[in-house]
Structures are given as C-alpha cells and as structure tokens.
Amino acid sequence: MRRGRVLEGITLGWNVAGIVVLGVAAVAAGSVALAGFGLDSLVEIGASTVVLWELAGSGAGRQRRALRLIGGAFLALAGYLAVQSVIVLVTGYRPGHSLLGIAWTAVTAAVMFTLAAGKARTGRALGNPVLMTEGRVTLVDGILAVAVLAGLVLNAAAGWWWADPLAAIVIVFYALREAREIFLGGP
C-alpha cells in the first residue's frame, strides 16, 4: 500500500509540474497537441487523487465510484480535444515550434513508462483493480507522450503542421478507449 501511495504521489507531482510546463509551451507555440497533453495531465492528477482516496479506504462501491470518476474525466478530455483538433485542421492553423514541449514530452515518456511498470506490479500484488487501471492509464500516458513528441518533431523538422492536431486526435482515441473499458468493462 505504501509503495502504491508513493507511486501515485510521484505521478501527481510530475503531472502538476507538467500542467505548468505544458501550459507555457502550448500557449507559446499555439499547439493543440501540447494543450491536449496538458489536459491529459490534469486527468492524470484527478486519477491519481482518486486512487489515493481509494487506497485510503476499501470496498467495491468505493472502487466503482473511483473508476467512474476516472472514466468521466476521460470522456470530457476526448470531447474537448476532438473539437479543438477538428477546428485546427479545418482552419489550417499552423502551430509554432516548441523545444520546451519536445524536451518535456521526451522526459515524460520515460518517467511514465517507469511509473506504469511500478503501478502494474504493485496493483497486482495488492489485487487492487483501481491501481492496476490507473497503471494502464499511466502506461498509455507514456505512449501519448511519444505520439505528441512525434507530432511536435514532425512539425518542427518537416513543417508538417497537421501532425500537431493529429497527435491530439491520438489522445482522443485513447481517452475514449479508456472510458469505454471503465464503463463497459472491455474494448
């Protein structure tokens, strides 16, 4: 339990810092992918808070409520990013480059993959479905960091402005998949 709390605390702290860094980078570059990844960090903060709350108590009802809260946050994220990405693609808005965003997403990917492995191992040891689910969320957060990183690098290196909103759309599909799994119990 202590290890689970520590892993969630690290995730929480990283994502709080991420909101600030990603917010600055998103505004400076006008990047929907960075804004979306920042919002995903906000969802991660909520998920970590819910897991910490759930680890402090017990019971199936508490676990169901925790999972529904996480699922609802993913639905809200998907809706926002879908609208923003379509607007950017339709209007042809060209985001600027962001070295800060590239650096942050690269480091975030490594951190999230490490945290996800620890949460999966700890969740299995505890038999805790909420911690295991949040561990999957953290794993996919690392994958999302790689997708956003790819969009940012393609925009900066090749001038492919549309790679930025497409990276945000990857987050939409991830968020919908996670919400579906939470609410319906599987893909």
Give me the DSSP letters along 21-40.
HHHHHHHHHT-HHHHHHHHH
**Predicted pLDDT at 26:** 95
What average pLDDT does range 176-181 have in this prediction? 88
Check whether 73 has a pLDDT greater than 90.
no
**Predicted pLDDT at 58:** 66
Check whether 23 has a pLDDT greater than 90.
yes
d(CA 80, CA 145): 18
Residue 99 neighbours by CB under 8 Å, 6+ apart: 156
**Predicted pLDDT at 186:** 58
> Environment class of residue 106 by beta-carbon count within 10 Å: exposed (0-12), middle (13-18) or buried (19+)?
middle
- For the question of whether the overall pTM of this predicted structure is more than 0.85, the answer is no
Alpha helices in 92-162 (DSSP H): 99-126, 129-158
d(CA 158, CA 133): 37
For the ranges 10-24, 28-42, 55-69, 100-114, the lowest mean pLDDT is seen at 55-69
**Predicted pLDDT at 187:** 52
**Predicted pLDDT at 117:** 96
What average pLDDT does range 158-166 have in this prediction? 90
